[in-house]
Copies of this chain bind each other. A is one copy, B any other.
Amino acid sequence: MKVLSFDIGGANTKFAVVSGEEVLERNSIYFPFWKRKNKFGDLLVDIIKKIEIDDIDAIGITMTAELSDAFQTKSEGVNFILKVLKNVLSKYNKEVYVLSNDLRLLSIEEAKQNPYKAASANYLAVPWYVSREIKNGILIDVGSTTTDIIPIRDGRIAARGKTDLERLQTGELIYTGILRTNVAAIVNSVPVNGKSTRVSSEYFSTTADVYSILGDIENNEYQCSTADGRGKSRNECMARLARVVCADTDMLSEKDITGIAKYIKERQIVQISDGIKQVMDAADFRGEVKIFVTGAGSFLAKTAAEQIGAVAVGIDINPSIALGYLIVFYK
């Protein structure tokens, strides 16, 4: 069985083609809903052109883009996205499944009637995949914008939050990522020349600058817009980060700016390790707990896990691939 599956985020649309346990295709396309939602149909058409749609047996859909401020409410967002999908996909006459936040597969019509079930269910796909292999563990997925921390207990997903709101309360969702996060949302102050320095609250620099400066990501991994619309060279990243303390690269040295970047990285790791601790405490694990890390920012999750004395193992999977596996497994 061959499945085409979509994970439609506010900033990136990811898709995969899986056949059995094999991944034939995987990709991520920068598509910011808040700028281009009316081109979403064109995006889908472009993606379908690139794959051999005739060989596909079923199509899977999961999303978080409904939270984008392109939409006034989540139900408006879910319905918009499903309507466009239905329009584009109808002529291919394939089974279409929408993942729900209780791990069921809904038809488009069912999902439209239960928009809150279809909203932000994508975080469940990878934990479902991992839960088939392990009994007790935590899966941490650090993406461009957000981090998911999902407990697996007795071989089942033991997440307490269903909606994103609940997940923000339980520590299972932390709105921090390695590319798009405004550094002003991570830190209130940073050290400059040994002095604690308040930061600007503007959108001057993002974590993609931080990790470019530190060499944690390569230039081709900087897959989002820059805060100021300028380029992605290390010097341009340093100029943006300097602006966060109302300075510039004339005023601060490379060492100063690297020091700021290191501090922001440390604080972001603490955001993640705080979430891990909260999830661990609530799950009340008995016996060995394995931590699996995935996503473009898995290196942060690994350090966060180590800081609380756990060992983390990397796995290479994402929600669109896992959703494909899930459909192969159940259908």
- How many interface residues does chain A have, given as a range? 35 or more
| Residue A181 interfacial (CB < 8 Å) | yes
CB neighbours of A243 from chain B (8 A): 67, 69
**What 15 new A-B contacts, CB under 8 Å, besides A72-B248, A165-B192?**
A34-B228, A69-B202, A69-B229, A72-B239, A73-B248, A73-B249, A74-B250, A120-B246, A163-B246, A168-B197, A182-B182, A182-B184, A184-B185, A185-B188, A186-B201
A185 to B227, CA, bound (A): 15
Interface of A is mostly: loop
Q: Would B175 and A198 count as touching, CB distance under 8 A?
A: yes
| Residue A195 interfacial (CB < 8 Å) | yes
List residues of A whose CB falls within 8 A of some B CB.
34, 67, 69, 72-75, 120, 145, 163-165, 167-169, 171, 173-176, 181-182, 184-186, 188, 192, 195-204, 227-230, 239-240, 243, 245-251
CB neighbours of A198 from chain B (8 A): 168-169, 171, 173-175
A240 to B70, CA, bound (A): 11
A66 to B, closest residue via Cβ: B248
A227 to B, closest residue via Cβ: B69
Q: Would A245 and B195 count as touching, CB distance under 8 A?
A: no
A4 to B24, CA, bound (A): 68
A116 to B200, CA, bound (A): 18
CB neighbours of A248 from chain B (8 A): 72-74
CB neighbours of A247 from chain B (8 A): 163-165
A55 to B175, CA, bound (A): 56
Q: Would A196 and B169 count as touching, CB distance under 8 A?
A: yes
18 contacting pairs across A/B (C-beta < 8 A): A34-B228, A67-B243, A67-B246, A73-B248, A74-B248, A75-B250, A120-B246, A164-B246, A165-B245, A165-B251, A169-B196, A174-B198, A175-B200, A175-B201, A176-B201, A182-B201, A182-B202, A184-B184
